[in-house]
Amino acid sequence: MRTIAPQRPPKRPGIQQGKVYLVGAGPGDPDLLTLRAVRLLEKADVVVYDNLVSEEVLAFAPADAQRIYAGKRRNEHTMRQEQINSVLVRLAREGKQVVRLKGGDPFIFGRGGEEMIELASRGIAFEVVPGITAASGVASYAGIPLTHRDHAQTCLFVTGHLKNGSADLDWTTLARPHQTIVIYMGLNALPDICKQLMAHGAPTSRPIALVQNGTLGSQKILTGTLADLPARAAESGFVSPSLIIVGDVVRLQPSLSWFQPESTAALDQA
């Protein structure tokens, strides 16, 4: 795994305005960064990064690149979104090459669309670099296929933490069979999520999984049913970031669980 920051190439003369790159950092494992993301990080003047971006990912940026933490946790925002937007615009107008680094993918619950609208309205050049979203990366490392022709023909991504702090979702749609539901930012609402799904027709035995720190060496997985998982999760001390996966595909997890953090670490050191 790369840990030495590259040297920055000399700037070209005559650049009047910089550019902002909205870059997906993937679900956690730095090996899941795209080549485009790494190349942009290596040339960045400034990296504006979120809470879920690891030090291993930041290490791809030059040692002298400015790093600005703009992370958000539940009820704890280092910078409001309006402030982040203003910072991106200001840095670009100063001629900086700015990497706005977001966990997962910028356009899947990453508010990349809001930042892009602001940049476009201010006449700032920008580029979007997709990343592996948590739903795909975490489910893969947990051994849970999001679709399977015998179990799920539909996959829905939803957020368990809405703008107003509630989890008021389309429960009737989410409770339907033959689909997989991936719920971002839903750990604190897990008891209510399970209660609402069962109240809207989902069987109490429907499988559900909770994955903490997916794709990382500290990954933890807990599987169960809508009826029993909330209590078991509380007893197990699960914390954020955790992803919730609901559907019959979760039944496949025990036989498809391939990721062993210990063996992965040994391979990295070889």
Paired sense of beta strands 207-212 and 72-73, if any:
unpaired
Helix, strand, coil share of the chain (percent; to 5): 35, 25, 45
Which residues pair with residue 104 across a beta bridge? 26
Q: Which residue has the tokens 């703009």?
A: 70
Using CA atoms, how far residue 118 sits from 20, 95, 132, in Å, is 11, 17, 24
Of the candidates 43, 72, 195, 220, the residue annotated as catalytic is 72
Catalytic residue list contains 163 = no
Neighbour-count burial of 172, counting CB atoms closer than 10 A to its CB (0-12 exposed, 13-18 middle, 19+ buried): exposed
- CA dihedral (154, 157, 158, 163) positive or negative: negative
Of the candidates 29, 45, 50, 105, the residue annotated as catalytic is 50
Q: Which residue has the tokens 């000399």?
A: 10
Q: Coil, helix or strand for 254?
A: helix
CA atoms within 13 A on the CB side of 49: 23
User: Is the link from the previous residue into 241 a cis peptide, with omega within 30 of 0?
Assistant: yes
Q: Coil, helix or strand for 51?
A: coil
Catalytic residue list contains 102 = no
Q: Could you list the active site residues?
A: 50, 72
